[in-house]
Amino acid sequence: MAADSSDPTAANDRDDTPPADPSSLAAHGDTTAEESSAVPGAGAAPPSTPGPAVDIDEATDAPAPADEAASTPYSPALIATAVALPVILIVGVLVAAFIALRAPVEREPLALGPVPAPAAEGPACLALLPALPADLGDYTKSTLVEPAPPATRAWQHPDGGEPVVLRCGLDRPLEFNRASPLTEVNGVQWFQVRDEVGKVGTWFAVDRETYIALTIPDGSGAGAIQTVSDVVAATLPSREPTPGEL
């Protein structure tokens, strides 16, 4: 029969092959899996290929995209303000310095010693003092230290210095006599007494109801005596001088 005609040797060969061990099959399967995972493209992502190196400075210096440049947060108005603000501050400082230089200097009150003035409270002085101006040329009215002498007014330069002083209601000066030379200024007759040590001249109005003294520092010019003469002539009536005996 056909079954019997098969090769006994081949049958024996098939019979002699031992059955496969299940554990060995499992081990073989694990080995196959490991080998397949080591092969590129066999279920695992291929390793990344490094690209060309990028210079950080070049990347930083690269121009910004148009959209990013358009979204810059600084508006033209803000930039203009930032430019103009320092200029405004500099101009303000210069203006403040100019005003400070032109502002009057605060002077200390002026102290004047007393001089005998028996007619200081008389009607002539009460009429004259309010009529005197606040300024005599470059001289401005001074504040006097209290108690101030009666019927007295003083003027100084804005930065201080020797004052121009007017006193009203004085006695007749001892130096005034019939031989004394008189100087007329704007309708008022004055007699001068020099102080060479103090470099001042004191002028006495000698043709009014009372004697008026005006002390002027040397180099002050004629403006002070001219202005005071105008006030005296307009306020007090004139009379003949009464000099002392020789």
When pLDDT is cut at 50, 70 and 90, the band that residue 100 belongs to is low
207 in any annotated domain? yes
Contact 195/188 with Cβ under 8 angstroms?
no
243 in any annotated domain? no
pTM summary value: 0.59
74 in any annotated domain? no
199 in any annotated domain? yes
Contact 227/136 with Cβ under 8 angstroms?
yes
**C-alpha–C-alpha distance, residues 62 and 106, integer Å:** 65
Report whether pLDDT(39) > 80: no
**DSSP assigned state of 146:** S
114 in any annotated domain? no
77 in any annotated domain? no
211 in any annotated domain? yes
Q: Which of 138, 145, 159, 143 is nearest to 216 (CA)?
A: 138
Number of domains in the chain: 1
Give the pair of three-digit tokens for residue 152.
């007295």
52 in any annotated domain? no
**C-alpha–C-alpha distance, residues 108 and 159, integer Å:** 10
Average pLDDT over residues 213-235: 96
**C-alpha–C-alpha distance, residues 190 and 213, integer Å:** 9
**Domain holding 197: CATH number?**
3.40.1000
When pLDDT is cut at 50, 70 and 90, the band that residue 41 belongs to is very low
The pLDDT assigned to 33 comes to 37
Range of the domain at 138: 123-235
Report whether pLDDT(186) > 50: yes
Percent of the chain scored above 90 by pLDDT?
56
When pLDDT is cut at 50, 70 and 90, the band that residue 76 belongs to is confident
